[in-house]
Amino acid sequence: MPRRPLGRSGLTVSVPGLGCMGMSEFYGPADDALSRETLETALALGYDHLDTADTYGSGHNEALIGSVLRARRGRVVVATKFGIVREPGAYARRIDNSPAYVAAACEASLRRLGVETIDLYYCHRRDPAVPVEETVGAMARLVEAGKVRALGLSEVSPATLRAAHAVHPIAAIQSEYSLWSREPEAGMLETCADLGVTFVAYSPLGRGFLTGALDVGALGDDDFRRANPRFQGEALARNRRLADGLGALARERGVTPAQLALAWLLDAAPHVVPIPGARRPARLSENAAAAEIGLSGAERAALDALFAPNAAAGARYTEAGMAGIERA
C-alpha cells in the first residue's frame, strides 16, 4: 500500500488507514470475533495505521486492538486519543484537558493497548478553559518519558494548531473531512502544509452515507446516526441526491462510490491521510484500492461542483456532539 508521513515525526503510515471506532459502539452492537477478523485481514492487506480512542466503548476499542498487536507491535502505528470523558454506555460527555488527566489517561491507554509506547497521541477535543499550551506541555512530557512518540490534536482551529506547534511539534491534525464535510479547506489544510503537519481525515465516507449502500431506515436504535441531523427529514432527502450524483460519477469511472470519494481526498493534498472505518473484512480491499485511482482534472471539477462547500444539508453532529469542536 502507498505510504505517507506523519508530519515530521519520522513515522510513515499506510494509505488509507483504518478507523476502528465502529467496532466498539455508535454503529450497532460490537462483535469482537468479527472485529478481530477485520483487524487481522487489514494487517494482512498492508494496513498499518490503526486509529482508536479511550472513549470508544469506554476502553473496549483499545483493548480490542491490543489483543491483535501482541505478535506484530513493530509493524503497526497505533493512534489513540484522550479528552472525552463519558460514563459507560452514555453519550453525554465532558472534556478534560488538564495536565493531570493527560498523564492518567495515557497510563490507562497504555495498559489497555498492552504497549509501552503510543505512536500518535491526540487530544481528542479541546477544553477552552485550559490553555492549549498547558495541555500540549503535558503531552510533551509523555514524549520525553518515552510513553508517546508523536503528538496530535483533533477538531481544532488553525490558530490553536499554531499555538500548540510552538510548544511541541504536532505531527497530525485529525478532523472530519470528506466530500460532504469540507470545512478543513477554510484554512486548516493550508496551515498543516505550512507547518509540515499531516491531516488525518476521519469519516471520509460520511459515516457510510457516501458509499451509496447505507439503508438509513434499517439503522438500529443504538446507532448514533439515527439522531444525526444529516440523516433526518429534508436534510436526508437532499443528501441522498448528492449521494446519487456521486454514484453516477463512480459508474462512469468504473469504480465504487466509496473508492471515488477516497480518491478525491487523496488527490486533495499529499499530506492528507484518510482513515475510513470498517466493521467487516469485505470493505478493506475496496478502500485500499482507492489509493490507486488517479483523478483527471475534469473528474475532480465534477466532484467539487456536486459537493460544493456547504452542499450537505444538516449539521455534522447534534449540538451536544459539537462540544469541543472549534469552529473557527
Q: The domain that contains 70 carries what CATH number?
A: 3.20.20.100
118 lies in some domain: yes
Q: pLDDT for 37-48, tens place per residue? A: 999 999 999 999
How far apart CA 44 and CA 7 sit, in angstroms, is: 25
- Tell how far CA 9 is from the center of its chain: 19
Is position 324 within any domain?
no
Question: Taking 90 as the threshold, does the pLDDT of residue 322 lie above it?
Answer: no
Count of structural domains, the chain = 1
Least confident range from 106-110, 116-120, 221-225: namely 221-225
Question: Catalytic residue numbers?
Answer: 56
pTM of the model: 0.96
pLDDT on residue 222: 85
Question: What phi and psi, each to the nearest 5 degrees, are found at residue 241?
Answer: -65, -35
Does some domain include residue 316?
no
Q: How far apart are CA 287 and CA 294, in angstroms?
A: 14
Residue 135 placed within a domain: yes
Q: Is residue 182 part of a domain?
A: yes
- Decide if pLDDT at 302 tops 90: yes
36 vs 221, more confident: 36
Lowest mean pLDDT among 74-78, 166-170, 271-275: 74-78
- In which domain, by residue range, is 70 found? 3-306
Sequence-separated (6 or more) residues with CB below 8 Å from residue 229: 235, 314, 315, 316, 317, 318
What mean pLDDT is reported for the chain? 95
Model confidence over 190-239: pLDDT tens digits? 999 999 999 999 999 999 999 999 999 899 988 989 999 999 999 999 99
pLDDT grade for 327, boundaries at 50, 70 and 90: confident
E strands present in the chain: 3-5, 12-14, 18-19, 49-51, 77-82, 84-86, 93-95, 118-123, 148-154, 170-176, 198-202, 272-274
Specify if 326 maps to a domain.
no
Q: pLDDT tens-digit profile of 44-89? A: 999 999 999 999 999 999 999 999 988 787 889 999 999 999 887 7
Q: Which of 270, 254, 262 is nearest to 303 (CA)?
A: 262
Residue 312 lies in a domain: no
Tell whether 149 is covered by a domain.
Answer: yes
Question: Does residue 34 contact residue 3 with C-beta atoms inside 8 Å?
Answer: no
Mean pLDDT of 5-25: 97
pLDDT digits (tens, 9 = 90+) for 231-249: 999 999 999 999 999 999 9
